[in-house]
Amino acid sequence: MPQLTAAELDVARLIVESLNLETDPESIEPEAPLYREGLGLDSIDMLELSLVISKKFGFQIKSDDPDITAIFSSLRSLTEVIGKRRTH
């Protein structure tokens, strides 16, 4: 299993805590899909996660964002986007 960076582990913890998942944040594969297969999140989970990210990091991920699929494609890609877009 690939090692998570500190930032990826922080985002994994945020996902697990905000969605009340019964999984260990450290067990989330950084390149595995978040949506459907992989972590198994659904569209409601993604909406909740977007709201948590907006509150915690100060930017919105909107459903009409042309990069939405790439943003949520994996823990690693989501962490990279947060790192680039965060305002606090």
Q: What CATH number labels 6-85?
A: 1.10.1200.10
Q: Alpha-carbon distance 53 to 84, whole Å?
A: 13
pTM of the predicted protein model: 0.93
Residues 30-54 have a mean pLDDT of 95
Structure-token match 């990069």, residue found: 67
In the chain, what are the domain boundaries? 6-85
Residues 42-70 have a mean pLDDT of 95
How far, in whole angstroms, is CA 3 from its chain's centroid?
A: 16
Average pLDDT along the chain = 95
Confidence of residue 1 (pLDDT cuts 50, 70, 90): low
